[in-house]
Amino acid sequence: MSTPSESHAPAFRRGDSRDVIIGLDSGTSVVKAVAFTVAGEQLAVTARPNAYGPSAVAGGVEQDMARTWADAAGVLKALGEAVPDLARRTAAIAVTGQGDGTFLIDRAGEPVMPAFLWLDARAAAITRAVIARPDYAERHYRVTGSSALPCQQGMQMLWLDRHAPEALDRAATAFHCKDWLYFNLTGERVTDPSEATFTFGDYRTAGYSEPLIEWTGLGHRRALLPPIVDGVRQAGSLSAAGAAATGLLAGTPVTLGYVDVVCTCLGGGLYDPSGRTGCTIIGSTGMHMKLSPDVASVRLNDDLSGYTMMFPEPGMRVQMQSTLAATLNIDWALDLVREAMAAVGVEKSRRELIQCLDEQVLAAPPGMAIYHPYISEAGERGPFFDADARAQFTGLSSRVGFAGLMRTIYEGLALSARDGFAAMGDVPAALRLAGGSARSVALKRILAAALGAEVAVIGREEAGAAGAAMMAAVSLGLYPSMREATAAWVEPLLGPAERPDAALAPLYDALFEVYRDLRTAMPPTWARLAAIRNGDPR
């Protein structure tokens, strides 16, 4: 079994001909390779769709591991065609990717089975049973700083141990997505501190927790967990096989980034030693993040919800609340409109509708109703976990037209963000907004008013790849710490801040209290509705 290299990246000198850092980001839907100059300027992007699909077992969502690597190698090779003399110019390759899930390989380095993705729900029943054990959920949360969820590797390995133990018997190493790609590039079987600790570790020590692994019931599978390396301080080298697959030069430094959400918040401007800045990603799903300058600043909650992850700067941690649906709520509403228009022979795309939405939403009166944005069929996971939770409008009347309905949805997303931040302590004074919705002026203004925070957007679309590349830049010695890397890569791209509308603050404060009261009262009703949907009307 390959072990992590003990050597650091080769010394890098300014003026070196190696003037490009490549960020490789394998997300759920798309795998991208992004070329940056060592000063943070984006040069080129290449991308391919990332395929996944249902398994033969109900609830399963799988990804072909060989194809995932082939797609990653393919975008790297295509990047070489887009950037002149890329192989010679590459100072480092930095890898990040989608979180959670289980990617198993055998002793020969071959996939044991298709990967379980974070979308996989096979472990839901086992997760409910495990966290129902006396004190387990509390102990797990206090050690990892994170909820125990079906999407995590620990619960998925428990499912495999009970239902497909032969797969674990054949396996030699359990990876996450980015670890699998790093292995193909370097031959090293390692993982990073962010995913290792929120799955099997202690957020205070940034290492594995042996008692936790035993409590979970996976002590006999401990050998599958790879060593932990920090990509800011340690780099591997591109292997001959990796070079042949990507068209890059063997020996090129390769750094293992943190999980994609951490890299995205790093590239999106979360770094702030004072802890006053938060970051919200509103894409298909939502992620609300707050930086804790030290371990003592971490604020866990009584609902045992959220994640605590390592941040690539000594001592710092990121607390996160992850919502299952964000812009999916907007997509759902727009698709209803498109369906109605198509019925009378008018065809419009979501893009065409959303282009004129900002002006209409801002013109609509605020606070006409309340919307809980739980449109996902999987319910909600942050700042509470309930697979039966569903979206709901409360307080609608005939006075609410289409623009008002859309404003209510936008307000629901903002109140959901506030709900997430409140579970981590104080709402941040400043917020960095990322994701596809960051281009929406209406959403930015509503977020600022609902959170009482200044909201700004970083003018960089590939924040995840940029965050991984920033880690590589520090590893190369280009910057002494993440503070200096942030000053060069992020701060120049920070757009003007949207200040909160003071006149709306009392309204949104009152709406938030009702929003939270409603969602805390709803679980029995959601459960009854779920039973009816499942054929039990009693």
List the CATH number of the domain containing 409. 3.30.420.40
Q: Mean of the pLDDT values across residues 291-299?
A: 90
**Domain residues for 364?**
354-420+502-533
pLDDT at 11 over 70: no
Strand 42-49 vs strand 30-37: parallel, antiparallel, or unpaired?
antiparallel
Q: Across residues 250-267, what is the average pLDDT?
A: 95
Task: Please list, in sequence order, all residues whose beta carbon lies within 8 angstroms of the beta carbon of residue 33, skipping any fewer than 6 positions away.
Answer: 22, 23, 24, 25, 45, 46, 47, 72, 75, 76, 78, 79, 465
pLDDT bin (cut points 50, 70, 90) of residue 1 is very low
Instruction: With respect to residue 401, please indicate whether it lies within any of the assigned structural domains.
Output: yes
492 has pLDDT over 80: yes
Q: Pick the residue with more confidence: 256 or 457? A: 256
In this prediction, residue 4 has a pLDDT band, given cuts at 50, 70 and 90, of very low
Q: What is the mean pLDDT of residues 35-55?
A: 93
Q: In this structure, is residue 192 part of a structural domain? A: no
Pairing of strands 61-63, 53-54: antiparallel
366 close to 504: Cβ distance less than 8 angstroms = yes
Q: Is residue 526 part of a domain?
A: yes
**DSSP letter for each residue of 40-78:** S-EEEEEEEE---EE-SSTT-EEE-HHHHHHHHHHHHHH
In a domain, 457, yes or no: no
User: Of all residues in the chain, what percent carry a pLDDT higher than 70?
Assistant: 97
At residue 2, the pLDDT reads 43
pLDDT of residue 13: 52
In this structure, is residue 358 part of a structural domain? Answer: yes
The pLDDT assigned to 369 comes to: 97
Q: Do the Cβ atoms of 317 and 203 come closer than 8 Å? A: yes
pLDDT value of residue 282:
86
- Dihedral of the alpha carbons of 372, 374, 380, 385, in degrees to the nearest 10: 30
pLDDT digits (tens, 9 = 90+) for 118-159: 888 899 889 989 988 888 999 999 999 998 888 899 999 999
**Domain annotation covers residue 68:** no
CA distance 319 to 222: 26
- Domain count within the chain: 1
Token pair 């709406």 in the structure block, residue: 511
Taking only the tens place, the pLDDT of each residue in 72-130 is: 999 999 999 999 999 999 999 999 999 899 999 999 999 999 999 988 889 988 998 99
- pLDDT reported for residue 119: 83
Instruction: Read off the tokens for 116.
Output: 């379980």
pLDDT of residue 66 exceeding 70, the answer is yes
Residue 203 lies in a domain: no
Strand partners, 93: 22, 254
Q: Cα separation of 483 and 7, whole Å?
A: 24
Residues 430, 456: contact at Cβ < 8 Å?
Answer: yes
For residue 283, give both structure tokens. Answer: 């894409």
Helix-helix angle 65-82:177-186, to 10 degrees? 60
Has residue 8 got a pLDDT over 50? no
Please identify which residue in the block is written with the tokens 């072990």: 3
Residue 361: is its pLDDT beyond 70?
yes
Q: What is the pLDDT of residues 449-477, one digit of tens each?
A: 999 999 998 888 899 999 999 999 999 99
Q: What is the pLDDT of residues 496-537, one digit of tens each?
A: 999 999 999 999 999 999 999 999 999 999 999 999 988 877
Q: Are 497 and 455 in contact (CB under 8 A)?
A: yes
Tell me whether residue 413 is in a domain: yes
Q: Which of 55-69, 172-186, 344-358 has the lowest mean pLDDT?
A: 344-358
